[in-house]
Amino acid sequence: MKGGGEAGAQIRARNWEETPLGNPANWPSCIRLSLSLCLNSSFPISMYWGADYHVFYNDAYKDIAGDRHPGIMGKPRKEAWPETWQEIQPQFDAVMSTGNSIRNKDKRFLIHRFGFIEECYFDFTLSPIADEDGNICGVFNAVMETTYQIINERRNHILQQLNLQLHNFQTGEHGYSEAISLLQRFKHDIPFSLLYKYDALTDTFTLTQYAGLTIEQAGQAGWPLKETIVSGVHAVVGGLEAKIRHFDFGDMPVAGLQAIAIPLKYGEDSTTGVFIAGLNTLIRLDDSYKQFLESVAFQIGASINNGVNFEKEKLRTDQIKYSEDQLQFAIDAAGLGTWDLDPFTNRFTGNNRLKSWFGLQPDAEIDLSQALNGIIDTDRPLVVSAIQEAMTFGSGGNYQIEYAIVNPLDPTPRMVRAKGKALFDNEQQITRFSGTLQDITAERKTLDALERAYEQARLSKEAAQLGTFDMDLIKGTMEWDERCRLLFGISHHNKVSYEADFLPGLHILDRERISTIINKAFDKAESNGDYDVEYRTVGVEDNQLRWVRAKGKVFFDEQDEPIRFVGSVLEITNEKLNEIRKNDFIGMVSHELKTPLTSLKAYVQVLNARSRKEGNSFAISSLNKVELQINKMSALINGFLNLSRLESGKIHLNRLDFRVDDLISEIIEESTLVVSTHQIKLLPSDAVVINADRDKIGQVITNLISNAVKYSPRGEVVELACKQVEDTVQVSVRDDGMGIRLQDRDKLFERFYRVESAHTENISGFGIGLYLSAEIIKRHGGEIWVESEKGVGSTFYFSLPVQFTERSI
Ligand code: ADP
């Protein structure tokens, strides 16, 4: 027994006399021979002989023996490896009894040799050691440990599966929710696994998946999540058997449960979660175990990353698709032609719309020179030079031009606007030139028509000497044209404003009235934005008085807030002055006519008294008729006088309290004296007191009664009524006369308006009675209106507020 390294030396040094095997010199020669073979082999070999299968092994076997070397040398097999003896003894016995050798391939043993119970795999043979006579003296055991290989294969299989199945996540979330489920199948190598997602914004972790542990158990360990993320490297967490309660260890020894926490990384360096893998206590935590788990984490990270990328990519393609759709939609909606010129081939392509404009078929392909032929001769050179310009690098590549195209199928020229952009590469070489074509024929026509219309408007405005104003109520600005400025005596072109120019420019007597009307125009509910006024201005620069008629419209937003106020102004000074002169004239004439009429009436009354005394009945009846005519005449003259007073603003209201029904009764009494054709009566009425000008309201009632009589020649009754309706008193005068057509009804209250018809032609009048009545009622803050049916009769109404307040006009 020479050589054999350390093992050989150990065997030689041992005093075998003390053992049941006795002096080596007496060992069977086949054993000694085999031992010599064993010790001198570099392949791990052990051999067993003697009644208890005493173990001998060589240096190469020491790695398998682990920390049992050197203690087990020469020990009975059942003492050397007690944990496997029960299982393997039958095989030893079989070799001894049959002399046949047995081969075990990758047999699994759980053995304790490096301080813990380890899952090990061995590939070994058990062969008989026989002497010359064929007697079996021992068992020869050539053995190769395949633990590393087997576990490695298993790990590779897992990684392969992960690789196959984890790559198809379509979102990052999907990765987080699915990745672990696969690992459940590989419980032996990864007894439990957890996936924590990290939210950098809130600096929190969420357990998104868990396998092999419940949520509660996962929470018991106190994982170094933040530390792992911060350090960026894995951390081993031990002592878990004490922390995780009721953990199912399966066939694993209960001691020393560990896990590894590995940061999940996306791309270069962004860490977004932590993968925690439990470690099988039967498997040595060596670099290869760690590397394996790092690979698993890498796979999961990469898969989630794939999901994230897929998601991003999908979003991007969706967005591109969306923008393409939008673009196409816009192109279609705008009725645009699109074109593209390949600068290398000069090929010109376009959408169907564009082709049809050039008279081409949808599948036609043309080059640039052919396309240019479609452009009318006068425009072509301009287009060519614009294209050349755009295709030159220095130009910036922008192209925009308007021109006309004609095609043989449609000889009317089509005006188009071409817009495009040329793109250049780093060498300043053009790579692409494309753009759109817009049909602007209609736009051009409208524009021309607009220009003409504008010109016409300008001309007629000038002819009519209309000025314009435009107030932007949002910006608070006001625009006046030259003519408008002139009417306010302004010659400069600086900014003007409502407060600084308009209001002060108004005559002091008109200022309050006009600003009230404008405020009303700004109130949609009250005026619908309509504005139609006459006022006086006093020129700021020339101090001249001018009369102005202004008409305009206020525009409102959706909330009915005024936003713009536009309109025109017209000078009416001459007309106004003429009217004033006319009114003065009428006033003067009426006044002059009244004086002789008054004395005429006095003389008639004197004559009448005398005739009565004399009992001259012919004279009496003649003089009564004269007096009636004088009364009619003075009523007419009074009408004119009142009109001129009204127009020149000389009417004043002398208010006092009186009962309206009393007034009506009085007037009926007076009227019956002169009216014999009709019965005039007052229906049962309310006793209402108002504060108003008694004489003027009386005039109104008289006028309505006399109209009712005048315009109902065949009627017999005129009925009056006086009622309180809410806060107003309402007076009505009804007749059974000719009635009034709808189209005349609104105009009756206008000055000098008379209905022209066969029925009215013999009835005298000037069309001022209702105008005066309406003015009087309006000045009392009341209303006047008529209801009528042609051929049936009319009822005139007026109402006055019972609480009278004078209305400012
Ligand atoms: P005048 O009676 O002097 O013409 P008014 O101003 O009083 O003037 O009346 C204007 C017009 O209204 C009259 O010309 C007449 O055509 C019409 N009109 C007024 N009252 C009545 C009525 N009760 N029935 C029919 N038509 C009337």
pLDDT in tens, 264-316: 876 655 668 899 999 998 898 899 999 999 998 888 888 877 777 888 888 88
Mean pLDDT of 188-204: 88
Q: How far apart are CA 270 and CA 309, in angstroms?
A: 14
- pLDDT tens, residue by residue, 685-727: 999 999 999 999 999 999 999 999 999 988 889 999 999 999 9
Q: Is 793 in the pocket of ligand 1 (CB under 6 A)?
A: no
pLDDT score recorded for residue 265? 77
Shortest-distance atom of ligand 1 to CA 772: 6
Give me ligand 1 centre to Cα 767, in Å. 7
Averaged pLDDT score across all residues of the chain: 88
pLDDT, average across residues 640-667: 86
Among protein residues, the one whose CA lies closest to atom 27 of ligand 1: 711
Percent of the chain whose pLDDT exceeds 70:
97
Point out the least confidently predicted range of 447-461, 499-513, 632-646.
447-461
Q: What is the pLDDT of residues 596-620, one digit of tens each?
A: 888 898 999 999 999 999 999 999 9
Residue 448's region, left for phi above 0, alpha for psi from -120 to 50, else beta, is alpha
Whose Cα sits closest to atom 13 in ligand 1? 754
At residue 809, the pLDDT reads 34
Ligand 1 within 6 A of CB of 708: yes
Rounded to whole angstroms, the Cα distance separating 8 from 10 reads 5
Half-sphere exposure of 572 (CA within 13 A, CB side): 15
Q: Identity (one letter) of the amino acid at 721? A: A
What pLDDT was estimated at residue 804? 45
* Per-residue confidence (pLDDT) for residue 342, from 0 to 100: 86
Is the per-residue pLDDT at 443 higher than 50?
Answer: yes
CB atoms inside a 10 Å sphere around CB 82: 12
> Which pLDDT tens digit goes with each residue over 782-803?
999 999 999 899 999 999 998 6
Greater confidence (786 vs 352) lies with 786
Residue of higher predicted confidence among 643 and 124: 124
Residue 227: what pLDDT?
92
Residue 770 CB contacts under 8 Å (≥ 6 apart), including other chains: 703, 707, 748, 749, 753, 784
Ligand 1: which residue has its CA nearest to atom 19? 707
Structure confidence by residue, pLDDT tens digits, 475-521: 889 999 999 999 999 999 999 999 999 999 999 999 999 999 999 99
Q: What is the pLDDT of residue 496?
A: 94
Q: Return d(Cα 226, Cα 365) in angstroms, integer.
A: 65
More confident: 427 or 166: 427
- Stretch 345-371: mean pLDDT: 82
Percent of the chain's residues with pLDDT above 90: 50
Whole-number pLDDT of residue 167: 66
Q: Rounded CA gap, 700 and 189, in Å?
A: 113
Report pLDDT for 254.
79
Highest mean pLDDT, choosing among 278-287, 324-333, 646-655: 278-287
347's CB contacts (< 8 A; 6+ apart) are: 341, 365, 366, 367
Q: Is 648 in the pocket of ligand 1 (CB under 6 A)?
A: no
Tell me what pLDDT residue 266 has. 67
Residue with the larger pLDDT of the pair 173 and 263: 263
Evaluate: CB of 715 within 6 angstroms of ligand 1.
Answer: no
Instruction: Note whether 490 and 540 are within 8 A (CB).
Output: yes
Residue 143 burial by Cβ neighbours in a 10 Å radius (0-12, 13-18, 19+): buried
Structural contact between residues 572 and 534, judged by C-beta atoms closer than 8 angstroms = yes
